[in-house]
Amino acid sequence: MAVNPEYAGREYPPNEAYEVGREHLRAFAEAVGATHPAHTDVDAARALGHPDVIAPPTFAVVVAQRAEAQLIEDPQAGIDFSRVVHADERFIHHRPIHAGDRLVTVLHVDAVTERAGLSMVTTRAVISAEGGEPVATVTSTLAVRGEDA
């Protein structure tokens, strides 16, 4: 099954809130080699004016991928995840993500195009605090190999 081009323009409902924990942020910072103390030390983060430890900038992808799962797991979308590679990822941050945040994400499918046997699927995950405050936008492009590729 090919990727369904009619999914371009689709918007998924907000997903369940993701509660950001200190240990999630510490483990992510360690995994990506982010060594700034504000990622692991509450006092260091507070000294910089943050309410708690802050996430490395790429942590937003963890939250975005939870929303992207709605598309990937939608059988009518026609995406075989075993044939997917990331082609592009971009971040716009409105404020740092910090421990204690409860983040809600709305996923938009901005484009589905065919290129040389690949389906290129561009999504935009709009991440907000539970009260509606904008936090980040993650734009991803997935390249989905066709069955003949």
Domain containing 19 — which CATH number?
A: 3.10.129.10
DSSP, res 98: B
- Per-residue confidence (pLDDT) for residue 116, from 0 to 100: 83
Position 117 confidence tier, pLDDT thresholds 50, 70, 90: confident
Contacts of 81 by beta carbon, 8 Å cutoff, 6+ apart: 72
Query: Which amino acid, residue 62?
Result: V
- Per-residue confidence (pLDDT) for residue 149, from 0 to 100: 52
Are 13 and 106 a contacting pair, CB within 8 Å?
yes
| Structural domain harbouring 124 | 5-145
- Per-residue confidence (pLDDT) for residue 148, from 0 to 100: 65
What average pLDDT does range 13-40 have in this prediction?
Answer: 97
Query: Mean pLDDT for the chain?
Result: 95
Q: What's the structural domain count of the chain?
A: 1
What average pLDDT does range 139-146 have in this prediction?
Answer: 93
- Per-residue confidence (pLDDT) for residue 66, from 0 to 100: 95
What average pLDDT does range 103-128 have in this prediction?
Answer: 95
For residue 32, pLDDT over 70 is answered with yes
- What is the distance between the alpha carbons of residues 112 and 108, in angstroms, rounded to a whole number? 11
Position 133 confidence tier, pLDDT thresholds 50, 70, 90: very high
- What is the distance between the alpha carbons of residues 32 and 149, in angstroms, rounded to a whole number? 32
